[in-house]
Every structure is written in structure tokens, then in C-alpha cells.
Amino acid sequence: MPPVRLLSCLVLALAGLSLSGRQIGAQVFTVSTEQIEGRFLQFQPTHVELPKMHAGPFTWEALQRTLGSEQGYAMRPLPLASRGLDLVANGPLTPNGSDYVQELNSKGISARPGDRVTVTKITFRKDKLVLEFNGGPDLPHKYLRHLQVGAGMGTSPVVRDTGEQATGSRLTLLFPGGVPNVTGDEVKALLAPVVGFGEKSPIEAYVETLPPLLKKAVLEHHVLVGMDGDMVLHAVGAPAQKIREEDAGRPFVEWIYGVPPEKTEFVRLQQDRVTRVEEASVGSSPLIRTANEVGDYWQTQSGGGVREREVKLGDQSEADRAAQNAPTSAPPTLRKPGETLPADKGPQQPTMGPVQFPTDTGHTSTQ
């Protein structure tokens, strides 16, 4: 799937296509890139004490036993890209900053913060460990899928394409100067800012990626105005019912929790942000909250917020239309270069006129 997500769809004026012949006006749709919270644009290197001795054959075997099929939780969005992420031991992560956002938006996201990931492959090199999670970002035998063998008129692919898509990610742990004689626990500590290992529930793993205010609200199962959809799901779970409506022409979705006469909570989301929370109980007035309750959290996230660009159809400028028109030039002709016709010399010059066909006499000739 392309690495860009469509948050609002193209609204076509279908009524303008009816037999009434009314002209369609300018059409507008909005495309939004993937939201990447600003806290993920910053990276804090680890400080793990590493052994001085270089790794040997027993190191590789021990790491394979310790890390193979080990499960952890994504601590930041992991890109679905063949290159993946490069993490220097006790050093920086690349890509980082705006390049990290571009990688996620162009390639797509393999795992979101708090998602469970499994180490499915480990490759050892002299100065790095390459770990693939959830099957990695490449299909197995991706090159053999393009080869066919056979004799005569029939051929068949070496590896048949089943239509499956790769959904995993890749992380390369780099050791300048060579891989030391590290243990599995030391490797896990080095990977902790990207993938956390340990006995955690999905909610515990997710809230570790949140700041204290939101972490407390999620653990207390409390919805705040300003949360996004993922935070609401981790706080109170999936709603019993969803209703899609419009308010002043702006679409929204209402998540409903609880069934009367029990306490019922209505959570309204617009563009994946909670804009209204209504708590209703039998015998008491509804409690409605619409004011922002997460402070300047989204404003301070340099990579957060909803970044939109508006695309208008049929609303081009004169310069745009001129650039799309064919260049003005003489019409095509069968004349040779420099050749003239009698008509070019003026209207008095005799020229051949249209062919006159005989009028229909009403008789049919047979041959």
C-alpha cells in the first residue's frame, strides 16, 4: 500500500452529472499525510556499557538463541522500508527528524507505538546486527518471483506470487570498530528506544510512549478532549457503536460507550482528534466537555498536528490552462517544403472545385 494515508475522500458533485445539464463547479478534496508526533522526532542515545572483547562464534549462537523469535513492543513508528532504520550503538538513529517523517510517509508504517513485534530474522555482520521484525519489509524470494522456467511454449515462475504483501520492518544495529562480545540483554538495552522488550501488556507498552499527562489519563481510562483515536482506544477500548454525522458541514464520528440506563459516554472525533465528550446519566443533566484538555501538547509537537494540502479541481488559472494547451502552429499538411497551390495566388486563379455527384434518379442499376 502506498506510504501516504487518505483521511478525507474526494466529494464529487454527482448531481451535476444528471440530465439537467447543470455545470459542475470547482471540486475540492483534502489529502493528509501520516501524523508523526514531534516527540518521535527527537532521539536520546543509550548509555550501555559494552565489553571490549570482539564477538566470536559463540556470541552469534548465543544471540540467536536469545533474540530469535523474541517479542517486544514498538516504542516509535517503524517504517515499512527495505533500508529501515540504522541505530548506532549508544549513538544516533537514522533517518531522524524530518527525514524520519519522510520515510514513514513515503514508505508507510509497519508498526505503531505500542504494537507487538517479533524478531523473525537475525543477520550477523562484522560490524552490525540486522534484525527483521514481523517478517521484514521484503517478501521472501522477491527476485525469484520475476523468473520463469520452462520448455517449448509453456513456462512457469520459479516462485509463484500469492498476492501477499510484506508488512514487517528492519533495524540495523551498528557497532563502529566491530561487534563486541555482547549478550542478548545488552542488545535489548541498546534497542530500547526503538523496540522495548519485557513482560508488558499492550496498554503498558503503549503508555510508555506517552508523556505523563496522557499516560495517567489512559491508565485511569479517562478520555480527554484533544486525544487522538489511538489514545481513546487504549484508554476505554473500542466503542459499542459508531455514528457518522455532520456539524456545520464538517463531518465527524461519534463513538458511543455504554447503554442507558447505565452511564453513557459520547466521544466526538474530527480529523482523528477528540473535540467533544458528553457524559450522560439517567436522572442528571449531561456533562459536556469541549475545551482542550491536553494543553499545548499538539502545538509543541514539531511533527504533530494534521498537515493538509488542498487540491482544487477545475479551478485553474489562465497560466495553468495555457501551459496545458498545445502550442500554436500551422496545421499539418501534405505539401512539400515551399510548395504552393493555385489557390494561394488569389481568388481569381482557377482551381478545382468540389466534385458534383449526379442527383438520384430513383432508378437502381444492377451490375
**Sequence-separated (6 or more) residues with CB below 8 Å from residue 110:** 78, 79, 80, 133, 134, 137, 167, 168, 169
Which grid cell sits at 98?
524530518
d(CA 161, CA 143): 11
42 confidence band (pLDDT: 50, 70, 90):
confident
Among candidates 206, 197, 201, which has minimal Cα distance to 233?
Answer: 206
Instruction: Choose among 73, 86, 105: nearest CA to 43.
Output: 86
Task: Give the pLDDT band of residue 141 (cuts 50, 70, 90).
Answer: low
Distance CA 79, CA 103 (A): 7
Residue 178 pLDDT more than 50?
yes
pTM as predicted: 0.55
The pLDDT of 25-45, averaged and rounded, is: 62
pLDDT one-digit tens code per residue, 48-58? 999 999 998 88
Cβ burial of 220 (10 Å; 0-12, 13-18, 19+) is exposed
pLDDT greater than 70 at residue 291: yes
| pLDDT the model gives residue 297 | 80
Q: Summarize pLDDT for 201-225 with one digit per residue, the tens.
A: 777 778 888 888 999 999 899 999 9
The chain-wide mean pLDDT, for the chain, equals: 78
Residue spans of the domains in the chain: they are 14-32+210-294+308-313, 38-141+166-207
Provide the grid cell at 16: 451535476
The predicted structure's pLDDT at residue 317:
62
- Confidence tier at 263 by pLDDT (50, 70, 90): confident
Q: Which pLDDT score, from 0 to 100, does residue 82 have?
A: 84
Burial class (CB in 10 A: 0-12, 13-18, 19+), 4: middle
**Predicted local confidence at residue 153, as pLDDT:** 65
Q: Is the pLDDT of residue 277 over 90?
A: yes
pLDDT, residue 161, reads 65
Per-residue pLDDT tens digits for 61-82 = 889 888 988 889 999 999 998 8
Q: What is the pLDDT of residue 155?
A: 72
Give the model's pLDDT for residue 85.
Answer: 95
Partners of 28 in the beta sheet? 312
Q: Give the pLDDT of residue 28.
A: 43
Instruction: Please state the rounded mean pLDDT for residues 354-366.
Output: 65
The torsion defined by the Cα of 41, 133, 216 and 296, in degrees rounded to 10, comes to 20
Q: Which residue has the higher pLDDT, 203 or 325?
A: 203
User: What whole-number percentage of the chain has pLDDT above 90?
Assistant: 34
| Band of pLDDT at residue 256, cut at 50, 70 and 90 | very high
The per-residue pLDDT for 13 is: 36
| pLDDT, greater one: 284 or 365 | 284
